[in-house]
Amino acid sequence: MTTLDNAPVTGGAVIGPSMEPVGQRTHRILSRVPTGVLWLIVVLWTVPSFGLLVTSLRSEADQISGGWWQAFTDPSFTLENYDKALFSPPGGTLPFSDSFINSFAIAIPGTIIPIAIACAAAYAFAWMDFRGRHWLFIGVLAMMAVPVQMSLVPLQQLYSGGAHLTLGGSTFILIPDMDLNNKPIAVWLAHTAFGLPLAIYLLHNYIAGLPRDVFEAARIDGANHFGIFWRIVLPLAKPAIAAFAIFQFLWVWNDYLISLIFLSQNRDASPLTIQLVNLVTSRGQGTELLPAAAFISMVVPLIIFFSLQRYFVRGLLAGSVKG
Residues that bind other proteins (CB under 8 A): 211, 213-214, 216-224, 227, 231-232, 235-236
| 151 phi-psi bin (left φ>0, alpha ψ -120 to 50, beta other) | alpha
Question: Least distance in Å: CB of 210 to other proteins?
Answer: 9
Of the two residues 177 and 221, which places its CB atom closer to other proteins in the complex?
Answer: 221
Question: Least distance in Å: CB of 234 to other proteins?
Answer: 10
Question: Least distance in Å: CB of 315 to other proteins?
Answer: 16
Of the two residues 5 and 213, which places its CB atom closer to other proteins in the complex?
Answer: 213
Question: Least distance in Å: CB of 208 to other proteins?
Answer: 17
Question: For residues 260 and 270, what is the distance between their CA atoms, to the nearest angstrom?
Answer: 8
The Cβ of residue 294 has, within 10 Å, a number of other Cβ atoms equal to: 18
Of the two residues 68 and 215, which places its CB atom closer to other proteins in the complex?
Answer: 215
Of the two residues 67 and 211, which places its CB atom closer to other proteins in the complex?
Answer: 211
Question: Least distance in Å: CB of 320 to other proteins?
Answer: 19
Question: Least distance in Å: CB of 240 to other proteins?
Answer: 14
For residue 8, the number of C-alpha atoms closer than 13 Å in the C-beta half-sphere is 2
The Cβ of residue 248 has, within 10 Å, a number of other Cβ atoms equal to: 25
Q: Which residues contact 251 (CB under 8 A, 6 or more apart)?
A: 191, 195
Angle between helices 96-127 and 272-281 (to 10 degrees): 140
- The DSSP secondary-structure symbol of 284 reads T
Question: Least distance in Å: CB of 231 to other proteins?
Answer: 8
Of the two residues 17 and 211, which places its CB atom closer to other proteins in the complex?
Answer: 211
| Helical residues (DSSP H) of the chain, grouped into ranges | 22-56, 60-65, 70-73, 80-87, 96-127, 133-142, 148-161, 184-208, 212-221, 225-228, 234-236, 238-254, 257-263, 272-281, 290-317
Of the two residues 239 and 291, which places its CB atom closer to other proteins in the complex?
Answer: 239
Question: Least distance in Å: CB of 221 to other proteins?
Answer: 4
Question: For residues 104 and 178, what is the distance between their CA atoms, to the nearest angstrom?
Answer: 24
Of the two residues 83 and 221, which places its CB atom closer to other proteins in the complex?
Answer: 221
Among residues 208, 209, 200, the alpha carbon closest in space to that of 138 is found at: 200
Distances in Å between the Cα of 60 and the Cα atoms of 54, 67, 170, 222, 292 are 12, 12, 64, 68, 11
Of the two residues 241 and 272, which places its CB atom closer to other proteins in the complex?
Answer: 241
